[in-house]
Structure 1
Amino acid sequence: MDLIDLPAKTREATIMELRDFSRRLVRELGFMRTTLADSDLAPSAVHAIIEIGAAPGISAKDLGNILRLDKSNTSRQVARLEASGLVERRAAKEDARSSDLYLTDAGQKLRKKIDRFATDQVSNALRRMVPADQQALVRSLALYADALAQDNSTKAPPEGGTATRILEGYQPGCVGDIASLHARFYSAHWGFGAFFEKKVATELGGFADALPAPGKALWLYTENGRSLASLAIDGDDEAGVAHLRWFIVDDSLRGSGVGRQLMSQAMKFVDERFSETYLWTFKGLDAARHLYESSGFRLTDELEGAQWGTRVIEQRFSRRSAGTRR
């Protein structure tokens, strides 16, 4: 039997199909209704409940960034949820003039109900798909969502937005902040202990102490003098190879686009100087993997080890530069 290559679809046809599928998803998931997820709340309010529950103590500003709402709409949304007894404000520890958002007991109860509804909805749909298609769907949707987020993150942020908080180079306290973020995250998800935290603090401290240095750079996202996200490039000019290290984003910034902004600055840096960039990560960090792949990285190696105190599968990703080739 002869194999015949079907002609590729035009870009316009692909765009129209994606728009059609997006509209169908919006309808099937219930976003066209006045309420969502078997609750009495509008879709935006349901998402606010989910995000506040996922990051207790989140600020109204950060909530608005995640939900893509302006300041006035965010304020009205929070006020309605507060009046309904689902959300409460507490004075921020670092600045009594601002407040953090938390779910009340009633809000927590509603969030669990929403979670059950959404889980059942997705589970029922997945039963109609074979496992291989399920995994392909997850990866494809993640890449599509990341691509949409990248477009949003490249638009000029409002005055005082996240772009103004990304600083390059060592900042006082950053070594402790970033080591702490790594220690808490990897302890909670992988069971890593003091050895891992000490290694991060020692190596990052030595790296920061050497800055500025050729082929090396450190970017930090800061709020009120604290570093809440970081990414470093540790490059070798002679070899033309760069090592991406210490990339982490605090949970409170999930969905804000900070991680992608850090990655964008780093990729611009390496494209101007190096032919290849590589990184090491752990299997199972799917959100980070989607960001790496959407930035041009590809999985090149896997190995299993227990040097961190628990058995994990380490993964190496590599990326060829889009700019100058050395």
Structure 2
Amino acid sequence: MDLIDIPATPRETTILELREFSRRLVRELGFMRTTLAGSDLAPSAVHAVIEIGMAPGISAKDLGNILRLDKSNTSRQVARLEAGGLVKRTVSTDDARSSELYLTPAGQKLRKKIDQFATDQVSNALRRVVPEDQQALVRFLALYADALAQDNAVKTPSGGAEATRILEGYQPGCIGDVASLHARFYSERWGFGAFFEKKVATELAEFAGALPAEGKALWLYSENGRALASLAIDGNNETGIAHLRWFIVDDSLRGSGVGRQLMSHAMRFVDERFSETYLWTFKGLDAARHLYESFDFRLTSESEGTQWGTKVVEQRFSRRSA
């Protein structure tokens, strides 16, 4: 069979086509309207409700980073949602100077309505796409969205760019960085040794080497090419159950909201694919437990064990997808 070289589409043509498709997506998804998703809210408010629902306890600063809103616009948005009885604030348990945002019962009800609207919208569209093209569509949209996010990360001023430094997938050097984060933290506080560091490095290397893979994902918070926080989802498509693994945040980022952002990415990922998510930890990690429980994880079992190389009270937490 002869191989025929198909002339590449000029870059200028590709740019124009992507711009046109982007405008069409904005119009068809309803972002040009004054309200969105069958609600009485503006598009930015709808997205705020979704993000707060995905990350209960999120700070206004982190919400603004995710939505690409400045401080004043974020404050006005949150104030309007509060006035509408959809959002409530509570004083942060980690920092009394900041507050945490939660949906009220009315806000949760609205979020479910928005989710159903969006699910129906996507489902109806997919009926017009043949099955073999659906996964390609998801992959290429993800590539496009990631490319836009990375470009925005470069343009975002320092001091308010925590969300834009979160990268998905394997990054060179991340296996050593993440293993080192685990080793230092658990050695200093719990006396874990070489067995634990080797276990993390070996299992993470095997996991990362298989990426990209269906139902599996790795998120990293990176500064200057070094991973300072991580979280992975190791999902089983046959059972519909996902395993949350390698969640660690460097001490320098404590209280920055990076851990909550990583959890938000992960919960959005699992809610679209799996019915249940579980994680293993051990008794005494109170700050981590508080974060897990804010995302609806619940303790399901605990017993003494040595899977980390040291005897601890191992705990299993589980969460049903929304």
TM-score range, shorter chain: 0.5 to 0.7
Show the 5 A alignment for 1:99-248. 99-159=99-159, 161-162=161-162, 175-176=185-186, 202-203=196-197, 229-230=229-230
Q: Percent identical across equivalent pairs?
A: 70
Deviation at 1:145, TM superposition (A): 0.2
Match of 1:8 in 2: 8
2:70 equivalent in structure 1: 70
Counterpart in 2 of 1:252? 260
Q: Deviations over 1:4-55 (max 9, x none)?
A: 4432110000000000000000000000000000000000000000000000
Structural mapping, 1:272-283, within 5 Å: none
Q: Is the Cα–Cα contact under 8 Å of residues 87 and 103 in structure 1 kept in the other structure?
A: yes
Per the alignment, do residues 161 and 12 of structure 1 end up closer, same or farther by CA in structure 2, a change over 3 Å counting?
Answer: closer
Q: Does the 8 Å contact 2:229/2:259 carry over to 1?
A: no
Counterpart of 1:252, as a letter, is: R
Taking structure 1 as reference, are residues 14 and 159 closer, same or farther at Cα in structure 2, changes over 3 Å only?
A: same
1:94 aligned residue: 94
Residues 176 and 201 of structure 1 are in contact (CA less than 8 Å); yes or no, is this contact kept in structure 2?
no
Matches within 5 A, 1:260-271: none
CA contact (8 A) 1:86 1:103 kept: yes
Amino acid at match of 1:23: R
**SS in structure 2 at match of 1:154:** helix
- 8 Å Cα contact 1:87/1:104 also seen in 2: yes
CA gap 1:161/1:17 in 2 versus in 1, 3 angstroms: closer
Which residue of structure 2 aligns with residue 295 of structure 1?
none
Q: Output the TM-score relative to the length of structure 2.
A: 0.56
Moved more, 30-39 or 246-255: 246-255
Q: Supply the distance in 2 between the matched residues of 1:200 and 1:114 (Cα, whole angstroms).
A: 48
Shift of residue 159 of structure 1? 3.0
**Residue 83 of structure 1: aligned partner:** 83
Task: Give runs of ≥4 in structure 1 deviating > 6 Å.
Answer: 168-174, 198-201, 204-207, 219-222, 247-251
Cα deviation for residue 230 of structure 1 reads 3.6
Q: What is the identity, as a one-letter code, of the residue corresponding to 2:197? A: E
Count of aligned positions: 212
Secondary structure of the 2:155 match is coil
The normalised TM-score by structure 1 is 0.55
